[in-house]
């Protein structure tokens, strides 16, 4: 199927970002076939379907490098007693009960709703981290089916932890990694692990062996809270990153999520091993765990991406949160203007390339046809020179109108075409109170 996306402002991104007023993008099958002058494109592809993008700006689909689909049903849930007073209590009283209360249909609905949210926000690639100890085996297949139905791309993994049963979840990762193999460009697999403080050396070593043999990376939370660092220092006499490096977890495909409480030596290890760090500013603020040393990590040459940690699926909002947080945290109004967009626009694309083997994040001939088409009438001139100003202060509040992934239109005119949101949300509202009840009894 060939489609001409006409009359929009195209922002190509990539190494040499170009802002092209009134250019036409032609997609053919799953790829971008051409980009250029509207009349020439019409002449070259006369029988292609035409989609009018006037009054809109077209960017490559956004990428989220850390998400938790399974957190969906936490929204609006009350927890009896005093609010959790620290990070470990938040895990014990909320997340480690919620994941145990999820049944088969909850898992499916909990994936479908954020996937719809991804489509609504132009997010076309997600790296997810899943947990559901009571319904573990086969859970990644349920999510895979939902992802395929949604039509976006996702890398999936199951959170291994010694918290419920020793080495729980290893088999599910192993099975799914084998099933996915090298991947088909839509679904990829990683070895999921919770965090250093819930994993023994033996469990980590087993995970690393499986990941190495399959050529996939490990996806693990690292030093999110000071408690993770203290645990590692007390039990293993070394900081978290050192411990994980010693056990072989680091590497170019490995994703170390958060890295809030790390020192300079740990940063060096991350840089030397090419290990990926993913920053989740909203989540860190919500859990009051601290501020990732983002600017230092970038300065040291660490590849840092941007995720939501399950807080949502809107990547522009997350980007702006990173921008504001690091200005405030550094007491410096000169920083983060280029760095926050860099995480989202360049670094997330580089991370996705390592996981999917695809050149995402750039509108250019031959690249995957993943597009976010956003309502935007620039109130001031817009060019390559001032694009970031429009991104941070304008596009962040603009509405996505049309979302395209693998050349397929998933949403058009703000209507999600691939899933029945009303029915899925209604069913989720029906099941969530039952899940909350099971959770209270745990
Ligand atoms: Zn997380």
Could you give the percent of the chain with pLDDT greater than 90?
Answer: 92
pLDDT tens digit sequence for 295-310: 999 999 999 999 999 9
Contact in structure between 267 and 242 (CB atoms under 8 Å): no
**Rounded distance, CA 354 to CA 358, Å?**
8
Is pLDDT of 53 > 90? yes
Task: Output the CA angle 142-145-147, nearest 5 degrees.
Answer: 110
Ligand 1: centre distance to CA 271 (Å): 21
pLDDT tens by residue, 206-257? 999 999 999 999 999 999 999 999 999 999 999 999 999 999 999 999 999 9
The pTM assigned to this predicted structure is 0.97
User: What is the distance between the alpha carbons of residues 280 and 266, in angstroms, rounded to a whole number?
Assistant: 19
| Mean pLDDT, rounded, of the chain | 96
Residue 294, pLDDT > 90, answer yes
CA 127 to centroid of ligand 1, rounded, Å: 11
Q: How far is the CA of 440 from the centre of ligand 1 (A)?
A: 23
66 C-alpha to center of ligand 1: Å?
A: 6
Residue 196 vs residues 66, 93, 248, 254, 282: alpha-carbon distances, Å: 17, 19, 13, 14, 22
Structure-block tokens of residue 441 = 């009894």
- How many A from CA of 105 to the centre of ligand 1? 22
Q: How many helices (H) and strands (E) would you count in the chain? A: 17, 18
Q: What is the pLDDT of residue 165?
A: 79
Instruction: Give tens-digit pLDDT for 68-122.
Output: 999 999 999 988 788 899 999 899 888 988 999 999 999 999 999 999 999 999 9
Q: How far is the CA of 253 from the centre of ligand 1 (A)?
A: 17
Each residue of 154-178: pLDDT tens digit? 999 999 999 877 888 999 999 999 9
pLDDT of residue 183: 87
At 124 the pLDDT is: 98
Buried-state track 413-442, b at ≥16 Cβ within 10 A, e below 16: eeebebbebeebeebbeebbeebbebbeee
Report how far apart, in Å, the C-alpha atoms of 57 and of each of 35, 83, 343, 371, 411 are.
Answer: 14, 43, 20, 10, 15
- Cα(159) to ligand 1 centroid in Å equals 10
The mean per-residue pLDDT over the stretch 284-288 comes to 97
Share of the chain above pLDDT 70, in %: 100
Ligand 1 mean position to 257 CA, how many Å?
7
């Amino acid at each position: 199927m060939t489609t001409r996306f006409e009359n929009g402002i195209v922002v190509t991104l990539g190494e040499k970002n170009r802002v092209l007023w009134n250019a036409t993008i032609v997609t053919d099958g799953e790829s971008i076939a051409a980009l250029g002058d509207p009349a020439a494109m019409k002449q070259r592809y006369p029988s292609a379907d035409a989609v009018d993008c006037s009054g809109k700006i077209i960017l490559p689909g956004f990428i989220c490098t850390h998400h938790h689909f399974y957190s969906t049903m936490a929204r609006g849930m009350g927890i009896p007693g005093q609010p959790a007073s620290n990070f470990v209590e938040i895990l014990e009283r909320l997340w480690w009960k919620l994941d145990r209360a999820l049944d088969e249909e909850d898992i499916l609905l909990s994936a479908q709703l954020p996937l719809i949210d991804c489509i609504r926000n132009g997010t076309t690639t997600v790296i997810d981290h899943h947990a559901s100890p009571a319904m573990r085996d086969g859970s990644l297949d349920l999510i895979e089916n939902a992802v395929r139905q949604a039509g976006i791309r996702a890398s999936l993994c199951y959170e291994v932890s010694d918290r419920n049963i020793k080495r729980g979840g290893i088999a599910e990762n192993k099975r799914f990694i084998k099933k996915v193999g090298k991947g088909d460009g839509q679904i990829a697999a990683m070895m999921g692990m919770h965090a250093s403080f819930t994993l023994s050396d033996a469990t980590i070593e087993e995970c690393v062996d499986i990941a190495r043999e399959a050529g996939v990376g490990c996806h693990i939370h690292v030093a999110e809270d000071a408690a993770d660092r203290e645990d590692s220092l007390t039990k293993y006499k070394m900081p978290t990153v050192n411990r994980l490096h010693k056990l072989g977890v680091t590497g170019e495909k490995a994703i170390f999520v958060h890295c809030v409480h790390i020192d300079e030596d740990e940063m060096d290890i991350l840089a030397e091993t090419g290990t990926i760090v993913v920053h989740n500013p909203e989540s860190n603020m919500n859990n009051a765990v601290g501020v990732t040393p983002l600017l230092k990590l970038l300065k040291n040459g660490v590849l840092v991406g941007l995720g939501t940690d399950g807080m949502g699926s809107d990547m522009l909002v997350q980007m702006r949160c990173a921008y504001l947080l690091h200005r405030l945290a550094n007491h410096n109004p000169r920083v983060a203007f280029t760095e926050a967009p860099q995480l989202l626009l360049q670094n997330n694309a580089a991370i996705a390339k390592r996981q999917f083997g695809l050149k995402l994040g750039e509108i250019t001939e031959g690249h995957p046809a993943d597009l976010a088409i956003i309502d935007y009438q620039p109130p001031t001139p817009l060019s390559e020179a001032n694009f970031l100003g429009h991104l941070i202060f304008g596009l962040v509040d603009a509405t996505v109108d049309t979302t395209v992934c693998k050349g397929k239109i998933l949403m058009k005119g703000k209507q999600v075409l691939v899933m029945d949101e009303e029915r899925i949300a209604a069913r989720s509202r029906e099941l969530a109170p039952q899940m909350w009840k099971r959770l209270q009894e745990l």
